[in-house]
Amino acid sequence: MHDPLAGSNANLEDSGLSAGSSSMPRIWPKISLVTPVWNSVRYLEATIRSVLSQAYPNLEYIIVDGGSTDGSVSIICKYESQLNSWVSEPDRGMYDAINKGFARSSGELMGWISATDMLHAGSLFVIGSVFQTFPDVEWITGRPTGFNDEGQAVEFLKLRSWSRMAFLAGANRYIQQESTFWRRSLWERAGGRVDDSRRNASDFELWVRFFRYAKLYSVDALIGGFRSHPDSIGLQNLAECHRIHDEIIEQEIASLPASARLKAFRRISSRILSVPGLEKPWRKLLMAALPKLLRGSDTPIIRYRKDRWVME
């Protein structure tokens, strides 16, 4: 039978992250990756290939389809022999599908990639090697990137250093889900599930829970990217997503023992952001000022230097 992924090892060698590289670990931690699907036939194969073409030697790849009727199941069947598990049945939405997938998984490391988004070449080796190098690091996120509707990588954003308090204060609400992976131990301490009671923003709620237990480390590498396309739920309902974000943060702040100053700062920030023409300057000022005000609470950035990962 013809292997549709033949030649993928050559792509890994081109990326400098092949399993045989002497500068990389040879015993790779198991990564559980879930892809939720619903009528995504136009994009799904590119998503699957972005995962399987890396030939990561200890991957547990699970696809959960919500009962698609557009040919998505045929695409899944095409790669069935290279999947650890897949199912097609009605569900309550993307987050329900993600919970189903993770319930079937057993990997030490975890993450999900939606059926319209993609991983970058060699990214699974980045994830495995970073977590293996730093056993105390519990979750990571890569450089934020974006694909256009045709799948071309067209957006590469600034890499940020994260802190829980700056995040809750509103310094930046965007932790890119496609580039974020974590240890199962953190997942279990934070509740062991994604909130599937809503259609969007539950990844944001998961990050809030993760921050309770562990620091988030940025990795200066390409891991995953968001595909901007006409059917994106998040892009169609951006104002609603932001409203939900604010609601989640307000609930989290209310649970903190000393939250008065944080609440006051957010009230002031909200008023300024409502003034036309002040939003962009204030966000730039906020982003620049908060890490300095909260010096010591942010985490170092993980970078690849002289054949090894280091914190800087």
Distance in angstroms (rounded) separating the CA atoms of residues 32 and 107: 5
- Mean pLDDT, range 54-79, rounded to an integer: 98
What per-residue confidence (pLDDT) applies to 268? 86
What per-residue confidence (pLDDT) applies to 266? 83
Question: If you write DSSP's letter for every residue of 176-242 in order, what string do you get?
Answer: -GGGEEEEHHHHHHTTSS---SSSS-HHHHHHHHHHHH--EEEBSS--EEEEP-TT-HHHHTHHHHH
Q: What is the helix (H) or strand (E) element at residue 95, kind and residue range?
A: helix 94-103
What angle do the packed helices 260-273 and 279-293 form, to 10 degrees?
A: 160
Average pLDDT, the chain: 88
Give residues with Cβ within 8 angstroms of 241, minimum separation 6: 200, 201, 204, 234
Would you say residue 245 has pLDDT above 90? yes
Q: Is 133 helix (H, G, I), strand (E, B) or coil?
A: helix
pLDDT band at 3 (very low <50, low <70, confident <90, very high): very low
* Listed residue (67, 66, 138) closest to 99, CA to CA: 66
pLDDT band at 12 (very low <50, low <70, confident <90, very high): very low
Question: If you write DSSP's letter for every residue of 8-70 in order, what string do you get?
Answer: HHHHHHHHT--TT-TTS-SSPPPEEEEEEESS-HHHHHHHHHHHHTT--TTEEEEEEE----S
Query: Could you tell me which residue, 13 or 307, shows the higher pLDDT?
Result: 307
The tens digit of pLDDT for each residue in 254-283 reads 999 878 888 888 888 888 888 888 878 887
- Mean pLDDT, range 107-136, rounded to an integer: 98
What per-residue confidence (pLDDT) applies to 223? 98
Would you say residue 9 has pLDDT above 50? no
What per-residue confidence (pLDDT) applies to 20? 39
Would you say residue 28 has pLDDT above 60? yes
Would you say residue 113 has pLDDT above 50? yes
* Residue 248: Cβ-neighbour burial (10 angstroms; 0-12, 13-18, 19+): buried
* Residue 186: Cβ-neighbour burial (10 angstroms; 0-12, 13-18, 19+): middle
- Mean pLDDT, range 140-148, rounded to an integer: 97
Would you say residue 14 has pLDDT above 60? no
The tens digit of pLDDT for each residue in 160-210 reads 889 998 899 888 888 999 999 999 999 999 999 999 998 889 999 999 999
What per-residue confidence (pLDDT) applies to 287? 65
- With vertex at residue 160, the alpha carbon angle to CA 155 and CA 165, rounded to the nearest 5 degrees, is 135
What per-residue confidence (pLDDT) applies to 37? 98
